[in-house]
Structure formats: C-alpha cells, structure tokens
Structure 1
Amino acid sequence: MRRFASPRSNLASRCLLTLALLVLAPAAAEARKARPEQALVKAIHHSLPAATATVFADAGPEPLLDDIFAAIEQDRLDQALQHVELLIKAYPNFRLAYLIKGDLLLARARPLTTFGQGGAAAEDKVADLREEAIVRLKGYRGKPPVDYVPRYLLQMLPEQEYAVVVDTRKSRLYLYRNDQGTPRFVADYYISQGKLGADKAREGDRRTPIGVYHVTANLPRQKLGDFYGSGAFPLNYPNQWDKWQGRNGHGIWLHGTPSDTFSRPPRASDGCVVLTNQDLDKLAKNIQIGLTPVIISNSIEWLSLDDWQNERQALRNVMEQWRQDWESRDIERYARHYSKKFRAGEQNHAAWIEQKRRVNAGKSWIKVGADHISMFRNPGREDYVVVTFDQDYRSNNLNDQMRKRQYWIKEDGQWKILAEGAA
C-alpha cells in the first residue's frame, strides 16, 4: 500500500482532521452533555465487561466508522484507509465507506476543502452521506446509560417479549427485552425516516408518524419487490388516537433496503422506518405479530429506573383508585376520574354521568377486576397514556368480561380518562 508522504501528507492530514472534527464535533458535544465521563473516550468493544457491554453497539459499521474518524483525528491516515477497506469488505454496498475512501485517496495528491471531494456523487448525495456519518457516530458515541429506559414503556404484558422504540431525530431504533416487567436494552440500529421528517398528518406528506403502534403482519421478501429488501412489518397507522386527531394515510412499515443498497440516508423514505437488511433480519427474530409495541418518537425521553418505576406506580395507583371508586357506587367519586371532554358514543360527559347515575340506582353491589395491564405513554405533543387491560365486571344484575382500552390524559396535573372502549 502506498503511504501518505510528507510534507504533502501534513496538508492532507490537516484537511482530513478538519473533516473529522466537522463530523464528530456535534456527536462529541452531545456526548459531553449526556455523559461527561465518556465524551471523548473511544469504546474498546471486545474488552468491555459484560455488565456494560450494551453501552456501545458491537455490530454494524459504527465501530469501524468510529475507528476511521478517530484515526483521521490522530493523523493516522494509512490506518484510516486500512479500516475503510475492512468496512467495504464487510459491507460492499456501503456508499458512505466509498466516499470516505475517495477522500483519503485524493488527500494523497492534494488538500481537501470539503467532505466528499474525492467522489463523483452529486452535492445533494454527498450531503445525505455526510448526515448519515454524523447520525451514525452520534448514535454510537452518545448512547444513554444502561440504567436508563425510554419513558414510554411503562408496563408491558408478560407475553410481550420485546419492544421497539424509534428516535427519529437520532435516526436510531432501540430494541428492549421485557425482563419481568422491566425494559432491558438489547440492541440499537441506524434507521431512515420520512424525507420530510416526522409528525405525519396526512396521506402523501412523506413524514413518519409519531405515536404508539404495534406490528400487524410479517411480509416476507417473496411477497415484495426488491425495493423493500429482506421483508416488511406493517404498523397499525393510523391508530385510534391518530383518527381522532384527523390524521390519515396508510402503508407505514418497518422494512429493509434494495439489494444494491446497504443503507439509505437518514431522511429518504415516504414515511416508513427503513433498516439495513442485516439489521432487519436481526430485529425480525424478536418481533411478535400483533404484540410487539413500536413507539416512534421525535426525541426519546429517558428516565432512570427509579424515576420510571415511580411514574409507573403513580399511574397504577390512579387506576386502582378508579377501580375502587367504581365499586363504591358513589357516582361523584367515580366521575372525577373522567375528563370533561370525555364522550361515550354520541353522549357528552354530562349525559354520560346521568346515565351512569340511573344505572347505579339499580345496583346493590359492584365488583370490578382489572388484570393483564399494559401501559404505554405517547411520545408526541399530546401527553396521554394508552392503558389496555382485562376487565371483569360483576354486579347484582350484570356480569361482563371484556378487553378494555383507556386513554388517560393530564388535566390540571391530574390523570383523567379521555376515552375508553373495547380493545
């Protein structure tokens, strides 16, 4: 291999160092803010003890990308090029790797003034690849501590073995395992989102929806065109809350990439969440159709396990009080749990309360069971929690069992039920 020669290499090195700092500075700044003690520490993946091994991803191109830019920062350009060759060997269709290689080779001949100068890609394509480099390294260097969890996974059902949480701002998907009710980090993956970002509102707006969803089907490669890669998992967008808000559209999937493409830019889809085929294949092993929750956020809110437990218990306490107040047959106590905006079909809040008052007049006793509870907090602008449970209602003149869903919102600092019905 031809080595970078002096003195020309000094100029090239300084230009590439500038490039590395341009790419890494935002990631380093964010890492300093989130975790000061690890802001500038390079991860040594194979020597991490088991207890902290999940802090840094040990799969995908990020470790090699991190090594490449670290080598450039330290003026070790031959080593950087060697690592690029390894990256291309591992991921032959990784366009970002070829762009970096072009820059490193061009730096042998003349100074570089901008990222992507060594390739033949159009300016907008170079901008896409630069953004991909930034978000990949941000995601790799700025992970949350292992004892923090996404705020939204308040309570999973025992049979929900995994949950997926997407951070569109970071172009990152996080997989969590249900460890007897506590979410435990498993893996994270780079993703592409809608061309125009997140907060989908209408058909064709090229945005990715924000909200609480679940996987509805598994579409294998054989049933799809090459564009969707190794498969697809449709989501239940629009969900009930989306419909109440007037949002529409369809066909929001988790899916892979075409066979000639390793990954797509951070903003490249028509609203779907897109992974590399390798990552989708890994994720697919942990997806349960009809069960796996998929929470898509603009930016994940992280809670310590203690704060997460306190928030979950507070809502469970409110639910338990609702159950007891229903059993009391005191309509005023029961009604205080419902928002003034609550509607039951065509009935407004006041009409519904009057109906409940008449029904309760014929009751000598009521018993209500609420079991098999799941609770997921919405990550969007609307602060609500969707609660689903098995309701066992018994009274002196009626017995009824159903799977029920409630939407709890905050009003004046208090949790209230905005809507409820059969799940």
Structure 2
Amino acid sequence: MQNKKIFILLIFILLRSSLMASNMELLTHYRNNGIEDIQKQLDLSLTQKAYWNEYLKNIDTKFGYLESYDNVLTCDKSQSQLSLYMKDANNTYQLQKVYSAYTGKIKGDKHKEGDLKTPVGVYKIVQKISKVDSFYGPMAFVTSYPNTYDKYQGKTGKGIWIHGLPTLQQRDEFTKGCIAINNPGIECLDKHININKTLLIINESSVDKNISKDFLGDVLSNLYSWRYAWIYNDVENYLNFYANEFVRFDGMNLEEFKKYKKRIFAKNEKKTILFNNINVIPYPESENIYKITFKEIYKSNSFSFTGDKVLIVKLINKKINIITEK
C-alpha cells in the first residue's frame, strides 16, 4: 500500500510539473532502481528551497506557515487589544473582531509565578471552562502557558486564561496575567472559534503580519533536510541541526542527546517518517526564533509513534539550529 501511494504521488508530480528534465531523471531512476530509489529522490526534493518558494507563493503567510489553524487570536498588550482573524473561502486570514482587553498589571513578559505579567509567546487554546467563578464572567479559555519554549527559558506559573469580566463584583483595569474582555465579547468569541483550530499570539506591541516567505522557505527546507538525515540514518548531518545550547524538554542536554541518538541510528533501521499539520510561526519579541509544530508519524521495526511534535529553532545563516524539542 505504501509503495502504491508513492507511485501515485510520482505520477501526480509528473503530470503537474513542467520540468521535463527532472521528470526524465525521476523516470530513469525508477526504471533502473525501482520505487525505493524514487522515494529517496522525492524525499530529497522536499529539502530544496526552490520547492518551498514555489509552494508558498500563493499561501497566506500573514502569521507564518499554518496548516492547523482556521483562527488566529492576536493580543497587543500595548494597545490593550485582542483581535480575531478567521480564514475565509480563499484561505486568507481576515480580521473579524477587535476586543478591548485587560492584561497584566505589570508590563513585560511573564517569567515567574505571581509576577502579575501576561506572557509573550505563541499558544494553543487547550480547554474551554463553561462554569467559572463569577469574577471571570460567563466562561474562560485556558491557554497552553507555559509552553515548551517557556519551560526551556525557566519560566514558571500557570493558569493564563482568556476570560470575561465580573458579573457580581467590581474589578481593576488590569489582571494578574490573564487576558480579560467584556462578557458580550467572550460570548462572541465562543461562537466564532473552534478551540482546537485556534492559535493565540501575544506580543508587547502589534503582532507582526508581514512574515517573510523567504525565511519560511528556509525553515521548511531545513525541516525536511533534518527529516532526510533522520530517515536515511545520516547521524552526523542529523545532529548538526542541534544547537550547542540544546536542552530537550525532559532536561537531556546536547551531549547526552547525541549519545542517545547515535545508539538508535547504529541500528540502521528502515524508517517511515511523515510530518502532517505543519505550523511554522516566528516567535514574538525574539530575533530569528521560530516555533515549529507538526504531527509526526514514525515507524521502524523496533518503535512506532504518532503524536504531536514541537521544535523551537533559531535560524542562523539560513540554517535552523534546534534549541529545544518535545
């Protein structure tokens, strides 16, 4: 079944592509070496910047490269605004609503429990709470703070919500770190978003809406170069994608990680590695830092895994350096 899918993909590429020389080369590889050689050639093609430049040409990359999200919430702390963008029929993110918002009493990025700051970062909405204390209005949406990058930076705290305003009490014009909007606003938000398909970006100022497709192409081609080294057991090239300051989510440092990966690669197993629902998002208030998330499907003779993967990478001289992963 896998070979059949690959062959169908090859035929699709041959029919759609105008690069006849490349088609001839692929067909010759297939004629001489069979379907596995073609698969390797296709995997290599996914590492090419030219492919991603062409692929991204007509894609809305207003907030990055997003496969998983139909809605984007942006919070501009300096303007006390929460904005909702929704994907339209043309797969373009359009501004739908702007809500006045209260944020943390103290300016700046959150670093520790109780510092009264709203975090800066990229988050998911992980839960809707319909029954809350009247202080939080009719409902609340729980964010994924602290995320993988927050934990890598040693940030602490929890319970960062988007919620409403008190129905029975008075309140100050700030929060302890949450984002609060008026109650008609939180009810409107509830009607418009699917929490599983909503991204939240919080920034000190206006969230960037002019993301470079060139940089996104660099990140995506590097992501698939990392995958290519992984699939074809090139341990040295695989490990070259990891920064010296790398620390895995569980505390494993780079030297420990290298030893661990070299033991696995030494098995020289044939692997299937697929990435679905890829998202590449520039990290606010951070230079050349990107959050990459995707669903990973991994199969080998000794191990299989299907689940969510997170990489935090720094783009240096057009190459990604992985600083943490989960």
> How high is the TM-score relative to the length of structure 1?
0.56
**CA 1:381–1:261 in 2, change beyond 3 Å: closer, same or farther?**
farther
Alpha-carbon separation, structure 1, partners of 2:86 and 2:190:
14
1:60 aligns to what? none
Q: Offset of 1:217 from its aligned partner?
A: 2.2
1:315 aligns with 2:223: no
Matches within 5 A, 1:5-404: 153-158=63-68, 160-179=69-88, 182-220=92-130, 223-259=131-167, 265=173, 268-304=174-210, 307-344=211-248, 345=250, 347-363=252-268, 365-381=270-286, 383-395=288-300, 398-404=303-309
Alpha-carbon separation, structure 2, partners of 1:244 and 1:420:
9
The aligned length equals 266
Alpha-carbon separation, structure 2, partners of 1:250 and 1:395:
37
Structure 1 portions without partners, runs of 5+: 1-149
Indicate the SS of the match to 1:241. helix
Contact 2:123–2:199, Cα closer than 8 Å, also in 1: yes
Alpha-carbon separation, structure 2, partners of 1:285 and 1:155:
25
Q: Offset of 1:352 from its aligned partner?
A: 2.6
Alpha-carbon separation, structure 2, partners of 1:270 and 1:398:
44
Alpha-carbon separation, structure 1, partners of 2:62 and 2:158:
24
Contact 1:216–1:233, Cα closer than 8 Å, also in 2: yes
Question: Per-residue CA shift, 1:205-236, capped at 9, x if unaligned?
Answer: 2111111122222223xx33332223222222
**CA 1:400–1:261 in 2, change beyond 3 Å: closer, same or farther?**
closer
**CA 1:182–1:347 in 2, change beyond 3 Å: closer, same or farther?**
same
1:417 aligns to what? 322
Contact 1:215–1:234, Cα closer than 8 Å, also in 2: yes
Alpha-carbon separation, structure 1, partners of 2:161 and 2:225:
38
Indicate the SS of the match to 1:153. coil
Q: Offset of 1:346 from its aligned partner?
A: 5.6
RMSD of aligned residue pairs (Cα, Å) = 3.0
Contact 1:339–1:411, Cα closer than 8 Å, also in 2: no
Q: Offset of 1:337 from its aligned partner?
A: 1.2
Alpha-carbon separation, structure 1, partners of 2:247 and 2:115:
30
Contact 1:171–1:191, Cα closer than 8 Å, also in 2: yes
**CA 1:375–1:262 in 2, change beyond 3 Å: closer, same or farther?**
farther
Q: Offset of 1:264 from its aligned partner?
A: 6.5
Contact 1:367–1:393, Cα closer than 8 Å, also in 2: yes
**CA 1:296–1:402 in 2, change beyond 3 Å: closer, same or farther?**
same
Identity of aligned residues (%): 28
**CA 1:283–1:347 in 2, change beyond 3 Å: closer, same or farther?**
closer
Rg (Cα) greater in structure: 1
Alpha-carbon separation, structure 1, partners of 2:124 and 2:189:
14
Alpha-carbon separation, structure 2, partners of 1:417 and 1:181:
30
Structure 1 residues 379-388 or 206-215, which shifts more? 379-388
AA partner of residue 409 (structure 1): K
Q: Offset of 1:290 from its aligned partner?
A: 4.3
Q: Which has the higher helix share?
A: 1
Alpha-carbon separation, structure 1, partners of 2:213 and 2:92:
9
**CA 1:331–1:230 in 2, change beyond 3 Å: closer, same or farther?**
same
1:140 aligns to what? none
Contact 2:152–2:324, Cα closer than 8 Å, also in 1: no
Alpha-carbon separation, structure 2, partners of 1:152 and 1:262:
38
Question: Per-residue CA shift, 1:350-406, capped at 9, x if unaligned?
Answer: 343244334323315444221221223321347532222222234465544333222
Alpha-carbon separation, structure 1, partners of 2:183 and 2:269:
60
**CA 1:200–1:360 in 2, change beyond 3 Å: closer, same or farther?**
closer
**CA 1:355–1:199 in 2, change beyond 3 Å: closer, same or farther?**
closer
**CA 1:239–1:397 in 2, change beyond 3 Å: closer, same or farther?**
closer
2:310 aligns to what? 405
